[in-house]
Structure 1
Amino acid sequence: MKKLILIAVVSLFSISSFAQEGLQGTWWAAGQVSFGSEKTGDLKSTSNMILPIVGYFAAPTVTVGLGVGNISNKTETGSLTTAESNTFVVKPLVRKYWNVTGNLYFYGQAALPVMFGKDKITDDKMSSFGLEVSPGFDYIINKWLTVETSFTILNVNSTTTTPNVGDKTTEFNFNANPMNSVADRTFGNLQVGVKFLF
């Protein structure tokens, strides 16, 4: 019993000292990876995304990060490729943390995703600039791992498509509703992931 109490006291002490010192000077790595495939008869669509993100705690409760990656999409009918695109992604971000209790933190994140893509079949070009605001929770498991969850409450995006032939098209989208339609009530694209500290 005495050992159990001693472990509990040491754990609480390490949690409170960790919360007071913050993570200033700590590097971290996270990211997004997705692979998808759909096939109906002879029609096959595949999509892949790889977006590693690296960041640095510039202050005890403020971190900056940068994601650089790629999104690719391909559609095939039998042996014929009918659509194929490749998009380069750059995503700078900044986060501010507030301690809730112990190793549990609430944060606010602002990100500015920028994308440049090209359709390999039609030679059409695409560029996109956006702003995403996402609150979330981050729980520090130990000195090298955290578990986090976040959801988007604001998304602003401007996309310009410049076709090889014809006039360019510019779309502007603004979404400030963290809930989707009344029918499904999905909550702002909830995401759960891990972050590695080093």
Structure 2
Amino acid sequence: MKKLLLLAGIALFSLTSNAQEENKGLEGTWWAAGQLSFGSNDNGTVKTTSNAIIPVVGYFVAPTTTIGLGVGVINGKEETTLAGTTTTTGETSAFIIQPLVRKYWGIGGKFFLFGQASLPMTFGKDKISDDKTTSIGVDLAPGFDFIVNKWMTVETSFSLVNFTTSTIDPNVGDKTTNVSFNANPFDLTGSRSVGGLRVGVKFLF
């Protein structure tokens, strides 16, 4: 009888531990993602180059809720060659910081739907004119996430609604502020593509 009670107690403890582990989900898990891109175009007269390095790190504060922070830089340069002489006609650099929060919902198996809210902030400078640009926005993006294994997922998302305010502070002249709002992510009259579609991988650790 004592052995039966002991076995029952062990089984109950095991089931409780497994249930707690399942309910825990990804809580306490760190993840890393980001953007890395390089581009170049040269038509013989004008050469443009660009690069972006924006790593993103996040942490699951609850079983299906994560917060993250992206910090990086975007650079661009334009060079014009005339009569064998190359001149830099444009050069920009921008520092980006983007906090975000994301909520997940299981839709079957290893597939998850998520909603993300982010606050992208960009601080740029034109190295030729010395003009400065500051942009602050709010972006709402739905997406899908597929868990490949215990350390990697593949995700895709697109911007559903975004609001951005940009202030240009020129080296000469007065400041100007522009406000933009977009709540139509679909190109219904052109290519009929989804606006701002993003595909990438996320590493869990």
TM-score (norm 2): 0.85
Partner residue, 1:89: 96
Query: Across the two proteins, how many residue pairs are aligned to each other?
Result: 183
Partner residue, 2:26: 23
Does 2:173 align with 1:166? yes
Partner residue, 1:12: none
Determine if contact 2:52/2:72 at 8 Å carries over to the other structure: yes
Distance in 2, Cα, partners of 1:36 & 1:99: 37
Does 2:202 align with 1:195? yes
Structure 1: runs of 5+ lacking an equivalent: 1-15
Distance in 1, Cα, partners of 2:96 & 2:28: 26
Residues 56-75 of structure 1 mapped to structure 2, 5 A cutoff:
56-75=59-78
Partner residue, 1:127: 134
Distance in 1, Cα, partners of 2:20 & 2:113: 18
Which amino acid in 2 is paired with 1:31? G
Residues 19 and 181 from structure 1, CA distance in 2 versus in 1: closer, same or farther, beyond 3 angstroms? farther
Residues 82-121 of structure 1 mapped to structure 2, 5 A cutoff:
82-121=89-128
Deviations along 1:55-84, whole A, 9 cap, x unmatched?
A: 000000000000000000101012211111
Distance in 2, Cα, partners of 1:51 & 1:140: 23
SS in 2 for 1:123: coil
Which amino acid in 1 is paired with 2:195? G
Identical residues among aligned pairs (%) = 57
Distance in 2, Cα, partners of 1:17 & 1:148: 27
Partner residue, 1:176: 183
Distance in 2, Cα, partners of 1:96 & 1:40: 45
Task: Give the counterpart of 1:155 among 162, 170, 175.
Answer: 162
Which amino acid in 2 is paired with 1:91? Q
SS in 2 for 1:167: coil
Structure 2: runs of 5+ lacking an equivalent: 1-18
Partner residue, 2:47: 44
Deviation, 1:188, is: 2.3
Which amino acid in 1 is paired with 2:133? M
